[in-house]
Amino acid sequence: MPRIATVQLEPSYMDPEAGLERIRHFTAQAAAEGAELVVFPELLVPGYPRYVPDPFPHTEEGQRLWSDIQRYHRAYLEHSQLIPGPFTDRLGEIARAHDTALVVGVSEAHPRRRSCIWNTAVAIDRDGTYRGKRRKLVAVMHERLYFTRGGREDLRTFELDGNNVGIAICFENHHPQIRRAFGELGEEIHCALWTGPAPREVAAGGGSHEQHKALGVAHALDTGAFVVISSQVTEREPDGGDYGSNWSHSGGSYIIDPLGRTLASVPDWEEGIAVADCDLSHIDVGRLVWNPFGDDLRDDLFPSPFD
């Protein structure tokens, strides 16, 4: 029965070294509570990118914004990481020191091409072994101007401490075919890596705009897997500064069982961790009534993503 932790935190913007120290801190905290797998949010290093303004501005304010995003973009590229490389080596040291597997979201740099990056998640086993990466297949909004899409090789899961772990990033969790692909690959634990943007007027009242829990429950009920949701969070009114977030992020981090029940969660607008024991035999209980990857799959009528 794996004990799993989800972490909700704000990135250390454009500071990978500080980000690694934050990962170390929260991993140590989760390990002290017995966690064997610790899940971190999307693009924790170097942070979720800022929106791209009009590249043909017709006002002085627009010209200032376009000039500033060029400065920001150069820094974003500079602090994206080679995967595998020194960044995953450091994650391996953290995992090994605390005997816990890690899933972490990071901006991945191309080893040769300038201005080519991916929205990536990496998987590290408890002994520090790098198990691989997954690149996000579908970008949304301004992400398309930053990130290259992943490919067919990114329809994969990872074996972490003997468990079959899938990872989906942000709006991939809306995608029914990605959900089905992970199920066909035998996913037992689904890690959903998110940000949690909210309009300022919603944030000011302590509300949220995200639908992480609803999508997590849907994934659990559709596939019979455990779902671990980890999201970024900010203050309700972040000032942004040179490299920080101009958007408010409410969080939205949960652990959900195969029957759609919430086992643990982190309060909105707070950093923290939530830990739960995940009895994988409950997958069999969920599939006793509805088995989406047995005869109920009807792959004779609905082709597999792998066909």
Residue pLDDT, tens place only, 241-292:
999 999 999 999 999 999 999 999 999 999 999 999 999 999 999 888 888 8
184 is catalytic: no
Average pLDDT over residues 18-40: 98
Band the pLDDT of 85: cuts 50, 70, 90.
very high
Domain positions in the chain are 3-297
What is the pLDDT at residue 142? 94
Give SS3 for 236: coil
pLDDT above 90 for 299 = no
* pLDDT of amino acid 294: 84
**Over the stretch 199-254, which tens digit does the pLDDT of each residue have?**
989 999 998 989 999 999 999 999 999 999 999 999 999 999 999 999 999 999 99
- Give Cα separations from 36 to 22, 96, 103 (angstroms): 18, 11, 11
Tokens standing for 18? 């500080």
| Whether the predicted model's global pTM rises above the 0.85 cut | yes
Average the pLDDT over 96-111 and give the result: 98
pLDDT tens by residue, 43-82: 999 999 999 999 999 999 999 999 999 999 999 999 999 9
Contacts of 190 (CB under 8 A, 6+ apart): 165, 166, 167, 168, 182, 219, 220, 223, 225, 226, 227, 228
**Which pLDDT does position 112 carry in this prediction?**
97
Please choose, from the candidates 217, 250, 222, 223, the residue with its C-alpha nearest in 3D space to the C-alpha of residue 234. Answer: 250
User: What is 3-297's CATH number?
Assistant: 3.60.110.10
pLDDT at residue 307 above 90?
Answer: no
From the candidates 10, 36, 42, 108, which is the catalytic residue?
Answer: 42
Burial label for 295, CB within 10 Å (0-12, 13-18, 19+), is exposed
SS3 category, 88: helix
- Pairing verdict, β 101-109 and 262-266: unpaired
Q: Which tokens go with 218?
A: 């849907």
The letter for the amino acid at 263 is L
276 CB contacts (<8 Å, ≥6 apart)? Answer: 3, 4, 255, 263, 264
Q: Using pLDDT thresholds of 50, 70 and 90, give the confidence band for residue 26.
A: very high
